A and B are shown apart, each in its own frame.
Chain A
């Protein structure tokens, strides 16, 4: 090994980390960890196939493929593939990310205010009140309702921590958010005034179970352009199975007319439905059609229930396959609409495609504790709204500000570089280990990667890559919608 240059020319080449997929009859690669997507021409696809079957030297590749392609093209292709790091010397070190913290002053974009921890429903699977609760909201020492002063301190913290951003987001959450409607009215007015004074703008949204919507509230939501997400599980028999009042009575008949009125009056922001999938509630197609066609929601997003193992509403293996299959069908439907520049309300595919388009390669699975924070009714700042009021997950208070030491320790502990289970997974640029709350409920620690979702995440990401690749062939101008 006395002459490194001579060594380099004989070196064996092999594919580096990547995920290949085919869309619209064309070959693509998704590079890991950069998350770049390149379309391959026939020589490039042939080189990757050859080296994927067994590593070989440049000379061996040229010899194998010289009957199919000119030698010059093969050499160019090898150089290009190596430059984008799709191939490299056999045994070359993997591209691992360094566990470095985001730069100081990283702005806070979204604050979630838990305006109450009370709820007029008693949904069986609720992560706030159900079997997997983290904080005792019923008998704990947190106030039942957030006070105006606490919300104002939250607004001030958001304005301060949003740094150079011109737009910040304030989301109201619960419990049932509308149980504290007076606070919403006060806080939105206050936040608008203060944001204007600071030369900023705040956008508002809330999540509700829709049981408490009334004409004056709907008019206020519309007038103030508040984004609304309604938690709803589908048609009557599905909604009434888990989403019940404390008496056990189902909530469908209560919410249906109220949602109809909301959708009729509130036209200033698109209104979405958010569905929790459980073992007994997996008919994604039927739920989607009911919520969009029968009820008129603009978008519907689905999420599997968060649960510790063994709960009787936990989705088991065959259930996930069924969901994936239906997600795939809806994703292809979404694709056909996108090819014709038409709207389709399946929001799961849209969210993933946006990340694929930008080529995000995440150090953290979500913005919790960094660009997003949750505030409890008492004013404690937590990683996100799901950890509100949990002492273990506290990173400050609205009055006292962010505890930088705790935030730093949290970010270091949750970086993808620390998740060794994820280091050979091609889907890690998008997944990055998954939801901290899911991990905490499932494994007892937020740092755990959600290994029970690996097959699901890889299958779903693969489907979305195919949709993305096909869209790039059939209607590339559509992709500009994801640019922002």
Chain B
């Protein structure tokens, strides 16, 4: 780094991490992008870091699509999806409810345009801010 000098031990660790991840400068670490140097880094983690106790259900996810009868995971309508769950691939593709970000129906129809195969190309998915 040229313009910032790490002062404490944590700042040194941040700098070392950025150097290792090849993220300096250019912000690759910001988008979770991988480089050859960063290949051994766990730059992506699951939504649940503890042992999974079941499928991750986004906050307020509507599990049932039946027009006129959309319900949330508790069977009610109070907790339908809020715009706090972001960048969930499956929401983008499968969900009819246009509150998540990015949503396929209205605002980000081409979010997966560069992602022909999710298993191979998922790093090409970028962050989207509403």
Could you tell me which A residues sit within 8 Å of B by CB distance? 1-5, 7-8, 11, 28, 31, 34-41, 43-44, 73, 76-77, 79-85, 88-93, 98, 100-101, 356-361, 468-469, 472, 479, 483
Contacts and interface: CB of A to CB of B under 8 A. Distances in A.
B9 interface: yes
A41 B11 contact: no
B8 A73 contact: no
A143 B88 CA distance: 58
Interface string B1-45: 111111111110111001000011111011000000000000000
B79 interface: no
Contacts of B13: 36, 359
24 contacts: A2-B110, A2-B113, A11-B129, A31-B14, A36-B6, A36-B10, A37-B6, A37-B10, A38-B5, A41-B5, A44-B3, A79-B24, A82-B30, A83-B23, A83-B29, A83-B30, A84-B15, A89-B127, A92-B129, A358-B10, A359-B11, A361-B10, A469-B7, A483-B9
B4 A84 contact: yes
Contacts of B7: 28, 37-39, 468-469, 472
Given A2-B110, A76-B2, A358-B9, 6 more contacts: A31-B14, A34-B14, A38-B7, A80-B24, A92-B129, A359-B9
B6 to A, nearest CB: 6
Nearest to B106: A1
B3 A40 contact: yes
A76 to B, nearest CB: 6
Contacts of B127: 4, 8, 89, 92
Interface residues of B, number: 37
Interface of B: 1-11, 13-15, 18, 23-27, 29-30, 49-50, 86, 102, 107-111, 113, 126-130
Nearest to B109: A2
B49 A7 contact: no
A73 B1 CA distance: 12
Given A80-B24, A359-B11, A38 B128 contact: no
A88 B11 contact: no
Q: SS class of chain A's interface: helix, strand, loop or mixed?
A: mixed
A38 B6 contact: yes
Nearest to A98: B49
B23 to A, nearest CB: 6
Contacts of A41: 2-5
A91 B50 contact: no
A80 B25 contact: yes
Contacts of A93: 86
B8 A356 contact: yes
Contact of B18 (A28, A73, A84): A84
Given A80-B3, A80-B25, A36 B8 contact: yes
A359 B30 contact: no
A311 to B, nearest CB: 38
B126 A83 contact: no
B37 to A, nearest CB: 14
B31 to A, nearest CB: 8
A360 B130 CA distance: 33
Contact of A357 (B3, B9, B30): B9
Nearest to A361: B10
A1 B11 contact: no
